Structure 1
Amino acid sequence: MRSGQLCAFDGCTAKLFEEAIHPQDQDTVVSEIAHILAASPGGARHDSSQDDDQRADISNLIVLCDRHHKVVDAQRFRYTPEILWEMKANHESAVSRGQLYAMNAVGFAELEAVCSSLRLASRVVSSSIETLVLPPKITEKMAANDLGEISAALIRMGIAKTTAVEAFISFSERGAPGFSTRLQQWFKAKYAEGILAPLSGDDLFSFVCSAALDNAGVNRNELLEAAAIAVVVHLFEICEIFEAVRAAS
């Protein structure tokens, strides 16, 4: 989700998966999750002072295509930890900006793509979005769930579309009674799956957004990423996923 389905190496536009064309084939993941500081002694940029949790933390992982994973590990003195952390940050920031600008164009078509499997089961953006002051109840709930700036950026993006999400859910409910309940139950299940992983804080929020995007199939783009974020933020706002402030307290 944070890599925008693309290799994070500077200038690389390699997709992280190859869509299947034949109906009996499966989509193929062609990306690799690389450790910035190696997981094992002797690996590229290994830091013996790290513990296993630190090595496995998302902050130490960068998603690369097969070619660039080999390059950064083979050329470890050129691609230092500092260079890779900067590369990861720049790439994820660019993806976030793309999602931000796409958010304004999200409509029923994109929300349908994100939510369709659940329903079937029974462009100018104001620069103020980036500095939007979130309502107290949202900031309190974020604090109660240990959500940091990564989640805050996603919530600032999505909160402008929560009315559209609510309208879409209401529209879908008329055509497929029970849709709203199925939607909430599915997201609650994904939220629980993330907790059991175990994930928490920003990593858990990103996981739920990624699960929403998976519903849209393999033809992913910035509009669908933005739609997935909007649906999650709506459910977060109405307290269907993540702990409410009183419960968390």
Structure 2
Amino acid sequence: MINKRLKVKEKDIKILYGQAGNQCSMDGCNNELIISKDNSTGEKYQIGEMAHIYPNSNNFVRGNYELDEEDKVNEKNLILLCPKCHKLIDNDPEKYTAEKLLEMKEKHINKIKILKETALLDFTFDDFYIASKNIICDENIDNGNNILKIDSNPLEIDVKIRKNDLTQISRNLILQGNLKQHQIKEFIAVMSKEDDKFPYLLQNSFKKEFNKKKNDFIGDKLFLELYDFSRKNLSNSETAASLAILCYLFAICEIFEK
């Protein structure tokens, strides 16, 4: 529990939530920390818990005599978790050492920072070209009807997001990526003139990757796995293009519905 004598300062709480992107910082957990209490009213409440990296008492496994009382309630010594993951690290301090928690926190902060930055970037046709070629590779090409299989009655984005158990972190990315849909349509039209199989190959590459991952990952983790697949070895602007491609296909195709 947080030190009863010294409370965490408001500025530290804001820093923690801002850095964590409203997500649990545990590896593999994307639980939202501010959730709706009642869907009909939209009222929200926070469930996030500020866990100590080095505990208040130095008698515990992760104790650190070098930290004073103020240091222990500073945001640098706190990690934002959902209740389940907070209990998990408290019950297994041998596994979740201070070093592991610090590494986990830094990794999560960097992930959120990259996701926010790349989602807002603009990109050129060259970026789109490189991103699409990065996605389409020989092993993802198969035989079949070379037609982009568009859902004839696509679900609304928010409905599709809920159906796939995606949280706010994926929703933010999808909404940002979809701002570029007009641009993506133009790029695909240009590429299709050179190769009429291009739209199909693009879709099929994501579909094959989805089928590889769907048994091991669900929800945000699955969406982010596809995002990682699409942006491997790319620059920031090329990554923005790959995100727009993924979001475009998510919106109009049945990739996530099969």
Once the two structures are superposed, residues 166-210 of structure 1 have per-residue CA deviations (whole angstroms, 9 ceiling, x without a partner) of 1111110001121111111111111111113x1110011111111
Quickly say closer, same or farther: Cα 1:144–1:177, change in 2 above 3 A.
same
Aligned to 1:242: 256
Larger radius of gyration: 2
Aligned to 2:158: 139
Q: Which residue, out of 191, 214, 220, partners 1:172?
A: 191
Q: Structure 1 residue 85: deviation in Å?
A: 4.5
Aligned to 1:187: 206
Aligned to 1:131: none
Aligned 1:1-249 pairs, distance under 5 A: 76-77=97-98, 79=99, 81=101, 83-102=102-121, 105-116=122-133, 137-196=156-215, 198-214=216-232, 218=233, 220-243=234-257
Quickly say closer, same or farther: Cα 1:231–1:151, change in 2 above 3 A.
same
Q: Structure 1 residue 117: deviation in Å?
A: 5.6
Q: CA RMSD in A?
A: 3.4
Quickly say closer, same or farther: Cα 1:192–1:107, change in 2 above 3 A.
same
Moved >6 Å (runs of 4+): 118-122
Aligned length: 157
Once the two structures are superposed, residues 133-166 of structure 1 have per-residue CA deviations (whole angstroms, 9 ceiling, x without a partner) of xxx8101011111111221121122011111111
TM-score, length basis structure 1: 0.54
**Structure 2 residue ranges without an equivalent (≥5):** 1-26, 28-60, 63-83, 142-154
Aligned to 2:4: none
Identity level (%): 23
Quick one: which amino acid aligns to residue 219 of structure 2?
Answer: G
Distance 1:225 1:189 in 2: 20
Q: Structure 1 residue 89: deviation in Å?
A: 3.2
Quickly say closer, same or farther: Cα 1:228–1:175, change in 2 above 3 A.
same
Q: Structure 1 residue 113: deviation in Å?
A: 0.5
Quickly say closer, same or farther: Cα 1:155–1:120, change in 2 above 3 A.
closer
SS in 1 for 2:180: helix
